[in-house]
Structure 1
Amino acid sequence: MSETVPQVDTVQVVLDVLKQAAAAHGVHEAEVLGGRYDEEWPQWYAEHIASTLADSGYTIVRTAS
């Protein structure tokens, strides 16, 4: 018997994770970097988003085209 995977609104999931990352990155810049601009923000965001998605049970799967 195959398990039914619930459908999700991908845009909403990505938007929610981006908003969480933005808030967390603001704290990171303020508290960890002492208010300095984070030159490495793309790497930080990628790591945060990947971790948040994984913690929520999401995996990114490439489908054959």
Structure 2
Amino acid sequence: MSHETPVPDAETFLRELLIRTASAHGEHERDDLGGVYDEDWPRWYAAYMAQALASGGYTITRSTS
């Protein structure tokens, strides 16, 4: 049986994750893309954030209520 613990302050948690993601994406554009704007940034953000959540032990589930 799974025990889910809600994130106490989801807004703060997500804002901080977005800030970390934006910083990492800036490095990706600079280092991996040679300073070129990443047209596919939403896909990169989603993959980065999904990995960060998974490595932190978080999962996203749909509420049944």
TM range (shorter): 0.7 to 0.9
- Percent identical among aligned pairs is 46
Q: TM-score, normalised by structure 1?
A: 0.86
Q: Which residue of 2 aligns with 1:57?
A: 57
Q: Structure 1 residues 56, 4: closer, same or farther in 2, change over 3 A?
A: closer
Root-mean-square deviation over aligned CA pairs: 2.0
Which structure has the greater CA radius of gyration? Answer: 1
Shift of 1:5: 3.0
Which stretches in structure 1 are left out of the alignment for 5+ residues?
Answer: none
Shift of 1:6: 6.0
Q: Which residue of 2 aligns with 1:15?
A: 15
Shift of 1:13: 1.1
Q: TM-score, normalised by structure 2?
A: 0.86
Which stretches in structure 2 are left out of the alignment for 5+ residues?
Answer: none
Aligned length: 64
Q: Which structure has more RCO (C-alpha within 8 Å, separation ≥ 6)?
A: 1
